[in-house]
Amino acid sequence: MAIPSFVDRARLTVSAGNGGHGCASVHREKFKPLGGPDGGNGGNGGSVILRADPGLTTLVDYHRQSVRKAQNGQPGMGGHRNGANGEDIVLMVPQGTIVTDERTGRVLADLGEVDEVVVAGGGKGGLGNAALASAARKAPGFALLGEEGDERIVDLELKVLADIGLVGYPSAGKSSLIAAISAAKPKIADYPFTTLVPNLGVVVAGETTFTVADVPGLIEGASEGRGLGHDFLRHIERCQAIVHVIDCATWEPGREPLGDLQVIEKELANYGGLEDRPRLVALNKIDVPDARDLAEIVTPDIEAAGYRVFPISTKTGQGLTKLIFAMAEIVRERRAEMTAAPPRRIVIRPEPVASSGREFTIKRQGDGEGGFVWRVRGDKPERWVRQTDFGNDEAVGYLADRLNRLGIEDELLAMGATPGDAVAIGAGEHPVVFDFAPQVDTGAELLSRRGEDQRLEEVRPSVRRRRELDAAYHAARDELVGHDREADWRELHRQALADELSHDFDEDGE
């Protein structure tokens, strides 16, 4: 099956890059037995960005390739070397594209109003043990894991950005009108539904430049799915004015200009959202004598209905100049009413779970097997759980300390939790489940904090021996010098040694 050149709907699967893991490393150098932690941080994962490009008119690239993934961040390394960040992926889409979350149906961004949107944010890199070191934890033996990047399926829907929209029955001359007033070259033929995709043309009227778009031919029932119009009516939602192109030389029985106008207006009303757009009526093909006479007959009735009427001929060019400047006048007025907004960039972030200003929530829920579990939700605790290496006891202890400082432990105790109860942290059907083990006080002495190594506080034997020698040296010096701090203790020491040697010699001589 051939892939069409014009695609105005596409479904795109985007995956941001994962953050790199932090590094747990200790500096190693000769004669420096404890060089300290030097593990670097992991790099951030790349994000997926959709950016509006006025030069594009189709979503066909995402019809061909519907899965895009950004680069992962690199892990940290020893020697305080941080991992490289993953590169962002910037996907260019036509201006006027609506981005919708496929799962929730929520509109994430309108790229006719903003320049770009970050649809999938890259995961944060994990901290290395050098960044986790503190006065209480001098040499962490663990590092934090990088977070996973966002994954999302988005629906892209193109709504053409044009100033003037042309509507009418098939073969009314809409494509011929665009070809006559602009440099566009749409397909033109003498059979219905020649136009299968919207055509765009740029028109210059004096100092005003504007764009004109035509919608594939509408017929009665188009808003309910008949013909091709139901697929393309959305392309005139953004138009600042609507021009009805009416065929005054149609050979179809039962059709006449006023009836065609009423049918198309009914379809626009059924589609909805276009009631405030100014309307113009172009009575086409007046180069045909019968069509000219018919246009003169119906013009008063159409004007009485509140429309400005312009008899035109796209073949001879008659009446086109008046129509062009009338369209330019509407465009100038509409643009003057609109205030230019500064370009904005939207970043899609998950909505916070907690409410009322709290950073977490706790609920007691059944586990489906006759027991219960304390379910903890919140952005911080869930992120901390994702960053934890559960194969490292010290890292698990560090997580427990963080949760305790956040107040989760106190809240669980206040709600009636007892040691050994199941505590689940995380979203979805597979959260991380812990056995509740609160921090315990024993008398006046507090047990060591989880995640800390008391061996770091112990004095090594070599240090103890050095300190003993230093103490003996200072004691001997004080004994020789006494209270006279200006005395030369080295000379006194040599004299004491000489006296001791001479005394030993005398004893041997006797």
Annotated binding site for Mg(2+): 175, 195
Strand partners, 50: 91, 117
Query: Left if phi > 0, otherwise alpha if psi is -120 to 50, otherwise beta: which for 407?
Result: left
CA-nearest of 409, 348, 414, 356 to 381 is 409
Report the distance separating Cα 262 and Cα 307, nearest Å. 12
Q: Which residue has the tokens 């006080």?
A: 441
Helix or strand holding residue 284 (H, E): strand 279-284
β-pairing, 241-247 vs 164-167, is parallel
Q: Give the pair of three-digit tokens for residue 363.
A: 């609920």
- DSSP H stretches of helix in 184-341: 229-232, 257-271, 289-304, 320-337
Residues whose CB falls within 8 Å of the CB of residue 346, separated by 6 or more in sequence, listed in order = 108, 109, 114, 116, 117, 118
DSSP 408-467: HHHHHHHTT--TT-EEEESSSS--EEEE-----EETTEEPPPTT--GGGGSPPHHHHHHH
Q: Which residue has the tokens 């590169």?
A: 87
Helix, coil or strand: residue 496: helix
Q: What is the DSSP letter of 215?
A: -
CA-nearest of 15, 17, 24 to 389 is 24
Q: What is the DSSP letter of 92?
A: E
Q: Residues comprising the binding site for GTP? A: 168-175, 193-197, 214-217, 284-287, 313-315
Helix, coil or strand: residue 218: coil
Q: Residues comprising the binding site? A: 168-175, 193-197, 214-217, 284-287, 313-315
Chain Cα centroid distance, residue 222 = 37
CA-nearest of 23, 15, 66, 79 to 45 is 15
Q: Give the pair of three-digit tokens for residue 51.
A: 């950016």
Query: How many CB atoms neighbour CB 346 within 10 A?
Result: 18
Query: How many CB atoms neighbour CB 179 within 10 A?
Result: 18
Q: Are 13 and 66 within 8 A, CB to CB?
A: yes
Report the distance separating Cα 267 and Cα 256, nearest Å. 17
Chain Cα centroid distance, residue 309 = 48
